[in-house]
Structure 1
Amino acid sequence: MLVDVHGEKEIILKKRAAVAAVVIAAVALAGCTPGSRVAEGSTVTVAVAEAFTSFNAATGFGSAVGTNASVVAATNSSFVSWDENGDPVPDESFGTIVKVSDDPLRVRYTIADGVRWSDGVEVDAADLLLSWAANSRALNTAGFDAEAHLDVQTGMFDDTIPDDVVFFDGFTSNGLDRVTEVPEVSDDGRSLTLTFDEFVADWQLVFSVGLPAHVVADVAGQGSEAGAAGGADAGSLKQSVAQAIATRDATALAPLSRAWTSGFTVAADSDPARFVGSGPYSIAAIGDDGLTLAVNREYQGDHLPQFETIEVRYISDPLQAVASASAGELDVLAPQSSPDVVAAIDASGLASSRVTTGTGEVLQLRLERSANGAVEHPLVRQAFLASVPKDRLIQGADDAGNAVVSRDSFTLFPGQTGYDDAVEATAASRKHLTSRAPAELIAAAAAENPALGAPTICVLFDPANPRRLAQFMAIRDAAAPAGIAVTDCSSPDWRNLLATPDSWDAALFGLRSTSTSVQSATQALCTGAPLNYGRYSSEAVDGILQRFELTDDAADRAGMLADVDEHLWRDAVGLPLFQLTSIVVTSDRIDGVSVAPYAPTVLWNPWEWMPRSSV
C-alpha cells in the first residue's frame, strides 16, 4: 500500500525526564487486570506533524494523512500487519485466514472467540461484511460521478450526493474488487467466505475488518435511540447492516454508505465514543492540539501494551518539536529534518542512528482536471520535466542533512529486487525525456496550440517544509528560460488537496510504500485508483497491473514493474527524485520504539513500547 508523506527524515526523540511514571517497576504490574502488562499510571507523549483527521483511513480523505493510518493501527486489530522489515505478520489472536479452494479462489476469514470492540460489542461477520461492501465498492450505484460532489477546498464529499445513491469511498486497488458476489456468512456468524472472480496472488492481505457495523448503522440514523450502538440495540443494528448487504437493498445501503464515507471525520469537538476500535488502545479524548489514547480494557489479544496512556500532540514545526523534547515535554517524535534540526538534536545530547525508509520523493503531474490545463499536453509535460534540475534537488537534500539516494524508478526504490534491472531497461526513455531542450518542446506545443506558448504550471507543496520551498524555487527558476511560468499553489492542507481536482498542476511530496504487497503499484497507477493523484490513465499500464495482481512469481512481478516504468517515462507523468532515510533517537528510559520503512509515522507499534526495567 502507498500513502503520501512529508518525505523528510523521520526523527524519534525521547527525552530522559519526559516519560511520566516510567519509574514504576515490575511490581507495579501486579495491580493490572489478569493477562495485562500495563504499568498503571504510565504515560508516553508522542508528537506527529499532522493532525488526526479521520478514523476511516480507507477513504480518499482519510488515506491522505499518515497520522490517520497510525491512530487506526494503534486502536484496531487486523488479520495481518507488517513488521519493521516490511514482512507480513499474522495475528491469530484476532482471527485466521484459510484458503478453501483455488479454482475458484475461495478464502474464509474467521474472527477469534472473545474479540470485542472497545464498547464491549463482539466483532463478527457483520463487521466483515460491511468491510467487503465498502472496500470492494461492489454495491455502489453504477455510473455515479462522485467527483462532482467533492469539495475542492476540503477534499471531502459534500452533502449534495443524492439520498438514493450508494457510494462507499472505499479502498479497491488491492484485489478485493475481484469479489463481486456477496460473501457467505457462516452459521455461527463469525466467519465470512469470499469467492474471487479470478486468482489474486495476495489473497492473504486484501481484507480485514474496518469500522464496526453497529456504529456505522447508528451514525446512519438506524439506531432506535441515541447511544444505541453500544447497548442492547447493537445486535439489531448489525443485523440491519447484514440484511441490507445480503439483499443489495439500495434504500438501506445509501445512508450506510454516506455514514461510512463521511461520518468518521475528526474535529476538536468530536465525541471519542464514536471512534470504536478493536485494538490495544482506544481514543479517550480529542482536542485542538492532539488526542489521548488509553488502554482498551476490552482487548485480550497478543498486542497487550505496557503504557497505560499515549498522549499524541500535533507539532508541525520541527524545531519546536525538538525544543519540546529537549524540555522534557515529549518522549517520541519524528520532525522534519534540516541543518538546524540536526544541530538541535546534536546539542541535546540524544543519541541517534539512521534507518532506511520506504519513503521516496516525487514530482507528480496532474494529467486531467489540472489547475491551469497546459500540463495536460504531453509536450508541455516533457518540457517541464526536462527543465527540472534533479541533481540540484538531490544536492539540496544532502545539504539539508538528509542522506538520500537518487531514484530512477516510479515503481521500485533502490535496494528492492528488480530496481537495477528496471533502471537499465528504461535508460533510453529516461534520457530521451530529460535531455531534450525545454524551449524547443514549448515551441512545438505552441505550434499545435498558440495558448501553450507561455504555459503556467502551479506547484502544490507544503509551505511549512523548508526543503519543499527550496525545491519549488529551484524548479521555478530552471523552467523560466523555457517560457514556463511555475507558480506557487502551496497549502497547509496540501495532503487533502492532492486528491482534489482543479487545484494544482504539479505536486512535490513524499510517497511511502506501506507494504511489500504485490498490489502496491496498483494503488497509485491504476485508472481511478485512490492514490492515483495525477489522474494517469493507460490501458496498457492497467493491463500490465491486472496481470501483476494475479502472479506470485517475484521475477515476473519485477519485470512487469519495469514495463510499467517504461510507459510512465514515455508518458511523462512525473519524476521520481530520491529515497530517504530516517534519524532515530531514543532515550535510556524507554525501549521498543522503532521506525518501520512501511509505516506512515512512528506510532505504528506502540504495544511494543516499554519502560526500561533498569530505571
Structure 2
Amino acid sequence: MRIRRFAAAAATVAAGALVLSGCAAPQSEIVEGSSLSVAWNQPFYSYNGNTSFGNATANNNITYATLGGFNYYNDVPELVKDTSFGTYELVSEDPLVVKYTIADGVKWSDGTAVDAADLLLQWAALSRALDTPDFDASEFTDPDTGEFTDDFPTDVVYFDSGADPSVGLGLVSTTPEVSDDKKSITMTYDEPFVDWELQLTSPLPAHVVAKNALGIEDNQEAKDAIYDAIENDDAEALAAISSFWNSGFNFTEMPDNTDLVLASGPYMITDFVADQYVTLTANPEYTGDNLPKVEEITVRFITDPLAAVQALQNGEVQLISPQATADVAEALAALDVTVIGGYEGTYEHIDLQFDQSKSGHFNNPLIREAFMKVIPRQEIVDKLIKPLQEDAEVRNSQVFLPGAEGYDESVAENGSEAYAEVDIEGAKALLAEAGVTNPEVCMLFSSTNPRRANEFLLIQQSAAQAGFNVTDCSSPDWGGLLGTPGAYDASLFGWQSTSLGVTNGPPPTYTTGGINNLNFYSNPEMDELTAALGKEFDPDAQIEIMKQIDKILWDDFYGVTIFQFPAVTAYDQNAITNISPSTLAPTIFWNIWDWEPVSADAE
C-alpha cells in the first residue's frame, strides 16, 4: 500500500481568499478505447442539483463532469476561471452589475449552441424573481419520496431552488438584459453581494425545458419561448417551465428521452442502470480547455465501503473514495494500491425538525434541548473516528471549520460546551418540564451506511436512558427525504463544503426557506444576519457575524455537530494516474478530465 496524505484546508471567511486563475488546462487527446471505473456510495437520481430534491453529492459528482460552467475549484483549493466556457466581468461595483458571456463554439451535445437562453433560465430559477408570491410548496411534497405530488397546482410559478431575496441571485430582482447576439446577459444586483462570482452555476439546457414544458419541437423556437416567457413575465408559460425544471430531470435509470442528459461539459451520460452504474463517455461536441483523456468512465454505485474495497481488489473499479472506517483502513493496508488520507471538508451532524417533525415533539424547544443532551458525541468520536484519526476531536461549531480563524473564539462563546458530555439527568428534567414521557424520535439516515448505523445505535442506547424512544427511519433514499415535511424527527448526515465563499454555508442552510434549510428552521434574527453576511466585505466583520450565527443556532437547539470526516481515497496506480482529491466537493471528481489510464484496456 502506497500512502499519501492531504489535510482539509483551513476554511476562510475572507472574500479575498478566492484565488482567480486564468490558466487553461493543457489540450489533451483521448486514449481511444480507454475505460476506467470508479465507485461511489450512493446512486445518482437527478440531473438537476439545484433543487431541494436533487441537491446531493451523488448527483452533483455526475453533473460536474457533464455541465460546463464559468469556474470551478481545484485541489489547492483555488477558484479557477474556465474561459473556454465563458467569461464574466464586473461592470460596476455600485450598483453591482455583472455581465456573463458564453464563449464562441460552446454547444450542447445535440449540437445546439449554449447561449443566453440557458443563462436567463438559470437566473429565473436561482433568483425566483418571477415566482408566484407567497406560494407554499411543502403541502404538495410526497413524504415517501420527497418529490412533488400530482396535486401540485399547474397555475403557479415555483422554481424549487430555495433562493432567498436577501442573498445571491435573489438580489437580482430585475430581469437581466440580453445582448443582441444572444451570447450574454447582464445582471444588476439590488444590493452589494460579496460572493457574486459564485452565483450563476452551470445551466441546464433551456431548449429542452421549453420543448418538454410547452410542447415545442424546434430547438430555436424553444429558446425563443424561454426569452418570451421570462421577458414578458408570462405566468402561464412560466408555470409549466418551472414545473418541468423542478421535476423533469429526476430519473433513476437511463431516460427514454435522451435530451434530458444533454451535456455541455467534457463528458455525457450514455448509459444508466438503476442502482448499478452511470456511464460517462467523452462528449464529441466539447471543445473546451478541459478535454478528457479517458474515453469512457463508469461510476459504479457501491454503498458498502468494504464492498468498494473488494471491488478495487478484484479490478472491478480502479478508484474508490468510501466512507472511512477502521475495517476499510485495515482492508486497504493489505492491497497494492495507493491510499490518500487526511480530513475532508465534510462534517457529521444531527439536525432536528422544527415545524414539520413526524411526531411533533421537536416543535417544543425543551424536548429539542433534552435530546441534544443525550447524544454521545465524544463516544461516537472515540469509538468510530479515533481508530482512523488519532487526533480526531468533536466538532463544536455549526459554521466554522476546526482550525479556521474564528473557530476557537466561537466555540468558547456559542454554548456548545453544554453538550460536551451526555447529561441524562438534565434531559429527564427537561422532559418532565415539557410534560412528556417516552417521546418517540424517528431518525433518518442512510440505511446502507455502516458507520451511520453504528452512530444510530450509540445514540439510541444513550437516549433510552433518559426516556427517549429513538426509532430507525433509515432509508436508501434518505437524501431525497431530507426536506420532506413529516418524514422524520431528526436526521443524521454530513454537510460537504462546495466552495470557499463566505455565504456557502449559513444563508442557504439557516435562512428561512433556503435550499439547504431542510428542517424548516426559521428565526427572523438569523435571516437578518445571513442577509448581512452576504453584504459584508470586511473579513473581520464576517467572522463576527458568523460567531453570532453560531451562537443563535446552539441557543435555538438547532441540533449538534459531531466530527469532521476522516478521508480515504484509494486507487490502482497500475491502472490510473493524476488522482488528486480536493477537500471541497466534488472531491475526487474535480479533475476528472485529467484522469489518465496507464493502459488503454484498464478496467
Task: Answer yes or no: same fold by TM over 0.5.
Answer: yes
Match 1:188 to one of 181, 185, 199: 181
Match 2:363 to one of 359, 376, 379: 376
- Determine the structure 2 residue equivalent to 1:431: 417
Q: In the aligned structure 1, how far is the partner of 2:431 from the partner of 2:386?
A: 36
- Determine the structure 2 residue equivalent to 1:67: 58
Other structure's SS at 1:161 match: coil
The answer (yes or no) to whether the contact 1:368–1:534 under 8 Å persists in 2 is yes
How big is each residue's C-alpha offset from its partner over 1:375-412, in whole Å with a ceiling of 9 and x where there is no partner? 22111111111122211011122355356332110001
One-letter code aligned to 2:283? N
Structure 1 residue 62: Cα displacement: 0.7
How big is each residue's C-alpha offset from its partner over 1:154-203, in whole Å with a ceiling of 9 and x where there is no partner? 11112212221111112525510001111100111111000111011111
Structure 1 residue 612: Cα displacement: 4.4
- Determine the structure 2 residue equivalent to 1:367: 354
- Determine the structure 1 residue equivalent to 2:243: 258
Q: In the aligned structure 1, how far is the partner of 2:426 from the partner of 2:409?
A: 32
Q: Which 4+ stretches in 1 moved above 6 angstroms?
A: none
- Map 1:16-35 onto structure 2 (within 5 A): none
- Determine the structure 2 residue equivalent to 1:548: 533
- Map 1:86-485 onto structure 2 (within 5 A): 86-172=77-163, 175-224=168-217, 233-271=218-256, 272-288=258-274, 289-398=276-385, 401-402=388-389, 404-426=392-414, 429-432=415-418, 437-448=423-434, 450=435, 452-485=436-469
The answer (yes or no) to whether the contact 2:122–2:204 under 8 Å persists in 1 is yes
Q: In the aligned structure 2, how far is the partner of 1:413 from the partner of 1:162?
A: 42
Q: In the aligned structure 2, how far is the partner of 1:286 from the partner of 1:495?
A: 19
The answer (yes or no) to whether the contact 2:210–2:226 under 8 Å persists in 1 is yes
Structure 1 residue 243: Cα displacement: 0.6
Q: In the aligned structure 2, how far is the partner of 1:590 from the partner of 1:528?
A: 43
- Determine the structure 1 residue equivalent to 2:559: 574
How big is each residue's C-alpha offset from its partner over 1:563-607, in whole Å with a ceiling of 9 and x where there is no partner? 111111111111111112212223133221122111145233210
* More displaced stretch, 133-142 vs 85-94: 85-94
Other structure's SS at 2:588 match: coil
The answer (yes or no) to whether the contact 2:176–2:185 under 8 Å persists in 1 is yes
- 1:51 maps onto 2:43 in alignment: yes
Q: In the aligned structure 2, how far is the partner of 1:344 from the partner of 1:519?
A: 39
One-letter code aligned to 1:189? K
One-letter code aligned to 2:71? V
Q: In the aligned structure 1, how far is the partner of 2:61 from the partner of 2:423?
A: 44
* More displaced stretch, 453-462 vs 535-544: 453-462
Q: In the aligned structure 1, how far is the partner of 2:52 from the partner of 2:77?
A: 23
The alignment's TM-score, normalised by the length of structure 2, stands at 0.91
Q: In the aligned structure 2, how far is the partner of 1:99 from the partner of 1:497?
A: 39
Q: In the aligned structure 2, how far is the partner of 1:322 from the partner of 1:502?
A: 37
After superposition, the CA RMSD in angstroms is 2.2
One-letter code aligned to 1:610? E
- Determine the structure 2 residue equivalent to 1:7: none
Structure 1 residue 433: Cα displacement: 5.2
- Determine the structure 2 residue equivalent to 1:82: 73
The answer (yes or no) to whether the contact 2:100–2:186 under 8 Å persists in 1 is yes
* More displaced stretch, 478-487 vs 406-415: 478-487
Other structure's SS at 1:580 match: strand
* More displaced stretch, 295-304 vs 203-212: 203-212
The count of residues paired between Structure 1 and Structure 2 equals 572
Q: In the aligned structure 1, how far is the partner of 2:29 from the partner of 2:57?
A: 28
List alignment gaps of at least 5 residues for structure 2.
Answer: 7-25
In structure 2, the CA distance between the partners of 1:148 and 1:581, relative to structure 1 (3 Å rule), is same
Structure 1 residue 475: Cα displacement: 1.4
Other structure's SS at 2:590 match: coil
Other structure's SS at 1:508 match: strand
Q: In the aligned structure 2, how far is the partner of 1:585 from the partner of 1:391?
A: 28
* More displaced stretch, 321-330 vs 267-276: 267-276
Structure 1 residue 134: Cα displacement: 0.8
The answer (yes or no) to whether the contact 1:11–1:584 under 8 Å persists in 2 is no
Q: In the aligned structure 2, how far is the partner of 1:209 from the partner of 1:511?
A: 21
Structure 1 residue 535: Cα displacement: 1.6
The answer (yes or no) to whether the contact 2:70–2:82 under 8 Å persists in 1 is yes
List alignment gaps of at least 5 residues for structure 1.
Answer: 1-9, 13-33, 225-232
The answer (yes or no) to whether the contact 2:377–2:420 under 8 Å persists in 1 is no
The answer (yes or no) to whether the contact 1:439–1:481 under 8 Å persists in 2 is no
Q: In the aligned structure 2, how far is the partner of 1:435 from the partner of 1:285?
A: 49
In structure 2, the CA distance between the partners of 1:308 and 1:437, relative to structure 1 (3 Å rule), is closer
Structure 1 residue 302: Cα displacement: 0.7
Q: In the aligned structure 2, how far is the partner of 1:462 from the partner of 1:122?
A: 40
In structure 2, the CA distance between the partners of 1:536 and 1:213, relative to structure 1 (3 Å rule), is same
Structure 1 residue 57: Cα displacement: 0.5
